[in-house]
Amino acid sequence: MTAEFAPGGPGGTGVHVDLSEWAWVINIYVQDLDDLLGPAPEIPSDPLDALAATMKEAPELPSDPVRARLLPDGVLDDPEAAAEFRRFAQTTLLERKRADAEALRRVALTPGLVDAAGARQLLGALNDLRLMLGTRLGVTEDGVLAGGEDLQAYQSYGLFTYLQGLLVDVLAGDWGGPGDGDSAP
């Protein structure tokens, strides 16, 4: 077993990442997330045209429960304000989620050192994968609902939870190194 995340870089400013053991499962679910998010919208390069594109009607809250979990209302209890938030923020949020997922895919295939921004992208992508799987599996604050038949998805959900926890520990300086009692699911 490899150490998936470890402090690294000069002065401990980065995180050494080696997800090669999990690259195959990460790639499967990152592709699933990409498909769920859909293609990137065309954004005009001219700033005035780009601004005019935001003047169109706000996108609806997604009807797909997984997509709705990934793109929630930014304002609760005020549908008009929530629609305005979606109109101005949804494209940027989708771009960030796509970039985070691509960063996770890239680092899973090529272990190395990432900086703080790269670590944030990995956390974002791992969280999105957990949200996607957790919504599909019916995971609540009380745990996983009984009756789920997709063992692979449950195991992957556990893996992404484990990896996210390890990365948070490294970033918080709580990493005990190999053999600190943590073990992969």
182 falls within a domain: no
Does a structural domain hold residue 177? Answer: no
Torsional class of 146: left (φ above 0), alpha (ψ -120 to 50), beta (otherwise):
beta
Print the domain residue range for 11. 5-172
**In angstroms, how far is the first alpha carbon of the chain from the final one?**
12
178 within some domain: no
Decide if 158 is inside a domain: yes
The answer to whether position 185 is within a domain reads no
Domain count, the chain: 1
Answer yes or no: is 33 within a domain.
Answer: yes
* Segment 109-165, tens digit of pLDDT: 999 999 989 999 999 999 999 999 999 988 877 766 655 567 888 899 999 999 999
Report if residue 180 sits inside a domain: no
> How would residue 183 be classed by pLDDT, with cut points 50, 70 and 90?
very low
* pLDDT tens for each residue of 74-91: 888 988 888 888 877 888
Q: Is residue 133 part of a domain?
A: yes
Long-range CB pairs of 67-71 (<8 Å, 24+ gap) are 67/36, 67/37, 69/131, 69/132, 69/134, 69/135, 70/36, 70/37, 70/97, 70/128, 70/131, 70/132
